Every structure is written in C-alpha cells, then in structure tokens.
Amino acid sequence: MRWETAELDRLRDVPNTLILGPSVDESVNEAGRRLLRGEADTPTHALVVTFVKGPDSWVEDWRRTVGDLPEDLVIVTTTDGFGGSDVGDGTASSQGVTTEYVSSPGDLTGLGMIIGKYLERWYQDEGDIRVVFDSLTTILQYGEPQNVYRFLHLMTTRFDGADASAYFLFDPETQDPQTVATIKSSFQAIAQFEGDGEWEVNQR
C-alpha cells in the first residue's frame, strides 16, 4: 500500500502506531513525519523524541518534506552529540521550538517525566497532540527489552488518556523475533514498510 492510500492515511486517528522499517530508509522517516502532521497538516502540539538526528536536522527535514512547523514543537534529545544545537536550550526559541535533554536514550525515567509534563500542559489546551519516537531502535540499544516494554505500556496508556496520537519508528532487524513480538504487543496499529513505497498495515 502506498502512502497516498486511505488505508495508511487513516493511521492519523490511531492513538499508538508502530512503524516498522529500516532505520536508514528515508521512506520510513518520512512516514513518521507525515503521520505526525495530522489532519490539519500542522498539529497544534508536537513532541519529537529523536536520538538519530539533532534538533536542527530534524527541523530542516520537517520543513523540507512537510512545511510549516507545528504551533508548539518540543524536541527531546540527548546531551551527548546534539548538545550544541542552535534550535533551543530548554526554552522556546525564536523559531517556536523547545529543546529538552535527557542524559542518554536509556534514561526512560527522565524521558517519561518530560513527556508527562507536556501532555498535562497540552491536554488542558484541547489542541491536537502528536508524538513521534525516532527511534525505539536506539532506545533498545541502551535498555533491557522488558524495561522498554514496561515504558511503552505506560507511555501508550498516557497518550491514549491525553487524546494524543503517537508514532514509534522501529527497525525489527536489530532485535530477535521474541523482542519484536513483545514490542508489537503494545500497539493498536502496525505499519510495516515493504520497500518501494509499499506498506502493510494492520490494526486491532
């Protein structure tokens, strides 16, 4: 199924979606950005957890493939490697972007606290809330699968309760089949990239 089909497009309304595909394939990353865009093309509130690219690179990719930035954009990344970004330092920048930092991709407690803070704040605004994790592949390199699974269960429950839509990118080739099956069980929808623009989509 191609991106333009209604089958993949309707994942915009699913609270929690797992996007499976190679981390290096731009089609997978673009799917995450376009789903994050939402029905109105630009979400009111967007939170991006990125351990693959720095905030500047992520914003540049968004503008190139999607367009205008969300009204309220928060990018969560690590202090290692991306700390020199000029997008923000924890407070809103002139571009309307806020950058938050965790010590490492394995800091699930710190990550959960940051996400919870913005979910609570944004839920009161009653605007469109969208979240993307780029990516679970990196988080699993730093944490035990069972700890990551418990974190995902907590996060997906919070997203559902806050009427948010969240998209999690994950390269299944980086983990054993049992871990992949465990991770899949946390999600209401799974989009598997088949190559050449083709997708297989399953919903519960």
**Is 45 a residue whose pLDDT tops 60?**
yes
3-class SS at 47? Answer: strand
Local confidence band at 168 (pLDDT 50, 70, 90 cut-offs): very high
Span 122-132, mean pLDDT?
Answer: 87
Residue 58: predicted pLDDT: 85
Beta bridge partners of 170: 20
Dig out the tokens for 9 from the structure: 């497009």
pLDDT digits (tens, 9 = 90+) for 85-119: 444 444 445 467 899 999 899 999 999 999 999 99
User: Residue 3 has what pLDDT?
Assistant: 42
State the CATH architecture for 6-82+89-175+183-203: 3-Layer(aba) Sandwich (3.40)
Tokens of 73: 């954009």
Bigger pLDDT: 12 or 75?
Answer: 75
Min mean pLDDT across 66-70, 97-101, 180-184, 189-193 is at 66-70
pLDDT at residue 128, rounded to an integer:
86
Using CA of residue 181, residue 132, residue 140, residue 23, what is the dihedral sign?
positive
**Contact criterion met (CB below 8 Å) for 127 and 102:** no
- In this predicted structure, the answer to whether residue 175 has a pLDDT above a threshold of 70 is yes
pTM to 2 decimals?
0.85
> 3-class secondary structure for 57-118?
HHHHHHHHHCCCCCCEEEEEEEHHHHCCCCCCCCCCCCCCEEEEEECCCCCHHHHHHHHHHH
User: Tell me: the pLDDT tens digits for 136-152?
Assistant: 999 999 999 999 999 99
Burial of 2 (0-12, 13-18, 19+ CB in 10 A): exposed
Question: For residues 36 and 149, which has the higher predicted lDDT (pLDDT)?
Answer: 149
Q: For residue 3, give the DSSP letter.
A: T
